[in-house]
Amino acid sequence: MGAGMRVRRLLLLSFLLLPRLSQAQDLSFLAGMTDSVDTGQSSYAWQIDLRYTFADPFALSASWINEGHFDDHHRDGFATRLWGRLPLIERRFVVAFGAGVYRYFDTQTRPGGSHANVHGWAPVYGLTGTWYTTTPWFALFGINHIHPAGDIDSTQYLLGAGYRFGKEPGDRMHASPAAPGSPPPKTTGLEVMPFLGMTVHNDLESRHGLAGGVEFRKGISRHFDGTLSWISEDNGEEIRRDGLGSQIWFVDAFLGRRLTLGVGAGLYAFYDRFRPAGGGGDPFDVAGLLSLTTSWRFSDRWFTRINWNRVATDNDRDSDIFVLGVGYRWVE
């Protein structure tokens, strides 16, 4: 096993153990610009970040980073980083330095006007400065540097704001009527949710179309869910797929367990209507599926959920699936 693989597995394992050890969780959104000396160009950038503070002065984060659009590169991906924190000014201002791994998805231009969906791993480094107010809200700036082998280097300069979720003993604050005491052993229970939205082909034109399906979600433990989803995509051109997605999710609940956040990974087995049987190629295929989710529980039983799924293929037909659904849950 290579050193890079060992580091990736260690960071992933550490992140999965964090909810039980963390003192606070910071959720933030940042936006700004990306600069690449390799291309000589600049573009927009944005980032969603969930950071767990544990064993002060250390923290671990999971981030989705969008590096913007250069002439020959449209790149984004998922990063996990370990941070060292330096509190200043009576702990109101915190400087942090981080390093970790970045799983990227790069839509690259090819001769003749075609494209390629290139996937890879890269080291990612970060610097942040965060100003904490007397409320749960905070402001921050961030700098990322991404240094892949065989792809372009880039640096992001970002500004943003976020919300700090503190520990709520027994989850009594804003508690659901179904959970007045100690937290339940599972975050999710059993859920069923139909959903509808759009699929976007990760090509140079970002051609989009309709997506829909139904998701069955079951809590495995307090911080793990499993899902089975029927997914249908149709952008009227190359993305015409129907299939079954299966994923394992890391999840956490906040605000009295009304808000949930999660990241999932798994496989998507589908029938490809763009390549029918007898048309040159097997119509059945399997792709990777990496997803982000958030849900809000209106009551003990009803909720709404947003899913963002990244389909990672081996034939340059990656897609993003953005869906919204309303579902019913059985509390276990």
The ranges of the chain with pLDDT < 50 are 3, 7, 168-180
Distance CA 49, CA 120 (A): 20
pLDDT for 54 equals: 79
Task: Give the other-Cβ count within 10 Å of 229's Cβ.
Answer: 25
Residue with tokens 């340059």: 316
Domains, the chain, ordered by start: 3-167 (2.40.160.20), 175-330 (2.40.160.20)
Distance CA 179, CA 209 (A): 40
Residue with tokens 């798994």: 266
Nearest Cα neighbor of 255 from 137, 171, 169 is 171
SS3 sequence of 140-184: EEEEEEECCCCCCCEEEEEEEEEEEEECCHHHCCCCCCCCCCCCC
* Contact in structure between 24 and 94 (CB atoms under 8 Å): no
Q: Phi, psi (5° rounding) for residue 111?
A: -55, 145
| CA distances in angstroms from 60 to 45, 51, 202, 292, 308, listed in the order given | 21, 6, 30, 17, 22
Nearest Cα neighbor of 306 from 320, 288, 289, 326 is 326
Reduced to 3 states (helix: H, G, I; strand: E, B; else coil), residue 166 is strand
Distance CA 180, CA 169 (A): 11
Distance CA 290, CA 311 (A): 7
Read off the tokens for 332.
């276990």
Distance CA 23, CA 167 (A): 7
DSSP label at residue 134? S
DSSP string, 70-107: -SSEEEEEEEEEEEEEEEETTTTEEEEEEEEEEEEEEE
The number of helices, as runs of H, and strands, as runs of E, in the chain is 1, 16
Whether cis (ω within 30° of 0) applies to the bond prior to 183 is no
